[in-house]
Structure formats: structure tokens, C-alpha cells
Amino acid sequence: MKIWIVWLPNVWKSTLFNALTKSYAAPAENFPFCTIDPNVWIVDVKDPRIDVLSDMSHSQKKVYAATEFVDIAWLVKWASKGEWLWNKFLANIRETDAIVQVLRYFQDSDVVHVEWSIDPMRDVEIINTELIFADLEHIERILPTLQKKVKSSNATKDEIKQAEILDVIYKALMDWKLAHTVRDQFSDEDLKVLKSYNFLTLKPFIYALNVSQDDLVKSDEIKAEYSEKLHAPVAVVCVKIEEEMMEMSTEEKQEFLAEMLEVQASKIPTLDDLISLAFNTLWLMYYFTTWEKETKAWTIPQGSTAPQAAWAIHSDFERGFIKAEVVWYDDLVASWSRSKAREKGLLRLEWKSYIVQDWDVMIFKFNV
């Protein structure tokens, strides 16, 4: 899973990237356009269930699910027209699976907004406008040639179908709509065709509102308000606090937040929530395997059958799949060993049609 983080200048995007990756890879000076080269980082999904299973199995190694985040140059008005370094990075971001737009919500007179005022919805419009422009420029290099070939009667059935699909996208963009707003007009086969074109506005969008410390306690209200306005997944983060918590463990973070905000830490959104939201938006999930050698989370599409989940480990596991031994995470932890869970009758055998669940701990039986 590869995600592009996009934001307008001077709103702590690079600081957010540093907090996500727990590094200081991205420059975070208070100047427009200070991020010149793209930063790419693999971020672990710090699921505490991995830690618990690892302790239970005395695992030598822990492997979390992971997300690849890309932080590229700032985005400004007219960026899609070649101003500044926009075109230099388009090839990189077209390969991403989703786009996170981080929107400034906090007030700070020391950090000047490039538009001189705080208005998240205006910022969304600026960003979306540039993405639409970029997609229009992209499709206008492809569609006319394809349509010309269709009119000449020399086109194949596949080319005719491609022209029809692209025409729907083009009309949406010309009406100033994001391509993903017409996604429901396409079949699964159509979407496979579209995937090869990597339209930016066809990708899922996630919006992350960067709030102040004071706003964190009303994060539920902020999230509800902007989810309704944007009709899309919304996360709330406080980048300033996240930067302070970069080196903290999950437990230390909870204690820190509870003491600072004087509320229950579990009610305070963090960057971990943003990463989880990205997984859900892309319809991804993971299951677990745990041994003395390794405890690992395996990322799969939601709705995967047991053989499809086995493929994540190795293609032979899917090809020669016989059955899966499955135990619910809570049951396994309560028993504190697979053998005791088996004695209690908590382990079950599942076959090819079984749909893997998020809390499953699995062993596969196969023969090739």
C-alpha cells in the first residue's frame, strides 16, 4: 500500500511525515516549498496484538503490517501548469494507491498560511483543482488518438471499450468533478482498464485535519462536521503533539495524552488512527501467524478466502491449499498457547470457502 501525502505549503506536512516515520527525514522549515526531493518511507502499523502474540510465542522477530508513504514537493495554485517542480513528481505520485490531503485547521500566527487565512474547504478546492488539471492534461494526451482510431474503424473491441470508459472520465473532469465520483458507473473489468492509466482523482481520498492541542478534545465533532462536508473518510491529528511523541511507545503515548489533556487517552485520535483509516479505505486487512521464530501480520484484501490469504505467504500455499487451522485472537490470548486453545476446543478447521477475518490467527495445511 503506497500513499501520497499532499498539502499546501507551510502547514507542517513534512513535520507530519517525520512523525509518521519516526525520523527526521523531511525538512520542516517554515518556508514555502522547502521540500524539494520526494521522501519515501515504510511505516509499520503498530498493532499491539503483534506484541502480545510475540510475547506469548517468545518470538525472535516481530513483523508488523506496513504502509509506504510518499512526501513530495508542496502543492500551489497552478502547479499542474508546470509552475515550480510539479511535473517532476507526477510520475511518482501516479503510482500511489491513495491520496491523503492534510488540511490545516489550527491557528498559529508564527506559521503563515500560503493563502493568508485558515479555511480547510478552500484548501481542498485548491488541491482538487490542481489534481483535476493534471488528470485533464493526462487524458488529453491519450483520448483524442484513441477516438480517432475508433472513428477510422481500425480499432479493436478493447480499444473501443477504452475510448468509452475514458470519455466518461473526461466528461466528469470537464464538469470539474473528481474521477472517483463516477466510479460507480464502471464494472470491475472497466476499473481494471482504468487502473493502468493511474488517474490521480480516481484514487481514494482521505482527509486529515491538522488541529491544535486545544481542538483535540473536540475531535469527534470536527471529524463529523468534515466527513459530512467532504463525503469522504476524515481523520483528525495534532502534528505538533505527534512530533513530541515520536520516540514514545504506545503505552507512553497514552499516559502522555491523558496527563496533558486530562481526558481518557483512548478517546484522543493519533497518527495510528490515520494509518488504520488508510487500510480500511483501501479495503485491506491483515491476519496473524505466530511461532517462536516470528510473529507476523499478513496484509490481504478484505473478503479474501483462506487460499487467497495463504497466497500472501507463498503462492504454493494457495496452489496446494488443503485447510486452515484458525483461532480467534482473543481466544488464543486468553488460553496463552495454541495447545491450550486446542484443548478447550477453540481451534477450528476452515476450508477453501472460508472468508478470513481481521482477528484470525492462522496455520495453513497444504500439499504441492
For 68-99, the DSSP string reads EEEE-----TTGGGT-TTHHHHHHHHTT-SEE
Angle (CA) 166 169 174, round 5°:
125
Q: Which residues of the chain form CATH 3.10.20.30?
A: 303-366
The residue to which cell 486545544 is assigned: 214
Write the CA distances from 334 to 56, 225, 293, 337, integer angstroms.
Answer: 10, 40, 21, 8
Distance of CA 366 to the CA centre of its chain: 32
Grid-cell match 502534528, residue found: 239
231-263: buried (b, 16+ CB within 10 Å) or exposed (e) per residue? ebbbbbbbbbbbeebeeeeeeebbebbeeebee
Rounded to whole angstroms, the Cα distance separating 93 from 205 reads 13
Question: Cβ neighbours of residue 91 under 8 Å, at least 6 residues apart?
Answer: none
**pLDDT value at position 31?**
43
Q: Which helix (H) or strand (E) holds 230?
A: helix 219-230
The grid coordinates of residue 145 equal: 488518438
Q: Which CATH number fits domain 2-48+63-115+203-279: 3.40.50.300, 3.40.50.720, 3.40.50.2300, 3.40.50.1370?
A: 3.40.50.300
Q: What is the pLDDT of residue 29?
A: 47
Task: Please name the residue that has the C-alpha cell 495534532.
Answer: 238
| SS3 label, residue 349 | strand
CA distance 313 to 324: 13
- The ranges of the chain annotated as CATH 3.40.50.300 are 2-48+63-115+203-279
Separation CA 245–CA 268 (nearest Å):
13
CB 316 within 8 A of CB 368: yes
β-pair type (284-290, 234-237): unpaired
Domain 303-366 part of CATH 3.30.1490.270: no
pLDDT of residue 259: 83
pLDDT of residue 54: 98
Give residue 75's identity as a one-letter amino acid code.
L
Residue 251's identity, in one-letter code, is: E
CA distances from 284 to 34, 154, 203, 279 (A): 33, 41, 15, 5
Per-residue confidence of the chain (368 residues) as pLDDT tens digits? 889 888 777 656 667 777 887 755 554 444 444 444 667 788 888 888 999 999 999 999 999 999 888 876 556 565 555 554 556 666 667 888 999 998 999 888 777 676 778 999 999 998 899 899 889 989 999 999 999 999 988 889 999 999 999 999 999 999 999 999 999 999 999 999 999 999 999 999 999 999 998 898 899 999 999 999 999 999 999 988 988 888 887 778 778 888 887 766 666 888 888 988 999 999 999 999 999 999 999 999 999 999 999 999 999 999 999 999 999 999 999 999 999 999 999 999 999 999 999 999 999 999 98
- What is the model's pLDDT at position 42? 84
In 3D space, the residue among 51, 69, 15, 102 whose CA is nearest the CA of residue 275 turns out to be 69
Q: What is the DSSP string of 93-149?
A: HTT-SEEEEEEE----TTS--TTSS--HHHHHHHHHHHHHHHHHHHHTTTHHHHHHH
CA distance 283 to 274: 14
> Nearest Cα to 101, choosing from 5, 188, 190, 185?
5
Report the sign of the C-alpha dihedral through residues 112, 115, 120, 126, in that order.
negative
Q: Using an 8 Å Cβ cutoff, are 175 and 185 in contact?
A: no
Angle (CA) 195-18-225 rounded to 5° is: 65
332 with 99: CB under 8 angstroms? no
- Residue with grid cell 477504452, as numbered in its chain: 162
Cell of 246: 515520536
